[in-house]
Amino acid sequence: MTGNLYVVSGPSGAGKGTLLSRVLQRLDAVWLSVSATTRPPRKGEEEGVQYFFLSDEAFDALIAEDELLEWATVHGERYGTIRKEVEQRLNEGIDVVLEIDPQGAFQVQSRFPQAILIYIAPPSLKVLERRLKGRGTESEASIQRRMKNAIVEMEYRDKYHVVIVNDNLKAAAEKLYQEILGDDARMSPS
């Protein structure tokens, strides 16, 4: 028996991290993959918890050794999923969640066609900007870069199996919970 693979994407600031932490608190048996990245840690982030924070050279080595299931450059930094960790858990029958960008999501889908793709959308770009500013983790330049990317990233939403608009936090968390809990067969996206 192999575990289910869930891929969660959405613009930076849409609320992916907030929703996943709420939902995964209630789903002990689901494992959230920890990615590798070249971006520096934000205040409060810890090595091996939010990410494995790597130098450019260390990230190059992971690529060269084919240790990444997928990787992409997002907002000017590289991010990738560590293959061994994911494949091992899936083979043990454990459900796995990847929180990755659309470029990575489609790479994963080509290797795991059964993966369930979930898109977290903000109610509007205005709200997205407000959330990014409110989070207080990004410089103004980084916010503007993330807003620009959000416009491009939103165009991929129709390629996902499920789109959840994160307006009311409680309602959106409940929808995400039901998606991950539910085991029903789904139609392929167009």
**From CA 2, how far away is CA 172, in angstroms rounded?**
27
Closest CA to 114 of 4, 33, 189, 29: 4
In angstroms, the Cα distances linking 63 to 75, 80, 111 are: 19, 9, 17
* Distance in Å, CB of 62 to ligand ADP, minimum: 23
Considering only residues 111 through 140, tell me which ones interact with ligand ADP, judged by CB under 6 A.
131, 134-135
H helices, E strands: number in the chain: 7, 9
Considering only residues 95 through 114, tell me which ones interact with ligand ADP, judged by CB under 6 A.
none
Task: Rule CB under 6 A: say whether 175 interacts with ligand ADP.
Answer: no
* Distance in Å, CB of 1 to ligand 5GP, minimum: 25
* Distance in Å, CB of 153 to ligand ADP, minimum: 11
Among 5, 6, 9, 10, binds ligand ADP (CB under 6 A): 10
Among 4, 9, 12, 109, binds ligand ADP (CB under 6 A): 12
**From CA 16, how far away is CA 143, in angstroms rounded?**
16
Strands 116-121 and 162-165: parallel
Nearer CB in complex with ligand 5GP: 164/187? 164
| 52 token code pair | 């494995």
Return the DSSP state at 167: S
> What is the binding site for ligand 5GP (CB under 6 A)?
9, 12, 35, 39, 70-72, 74-75, 79-81, 99-101, 103-104
Binding positions for ligand ADP, rule: CB under 6 A:
10, 12-18, 131, 134-135, 166, 169, 172
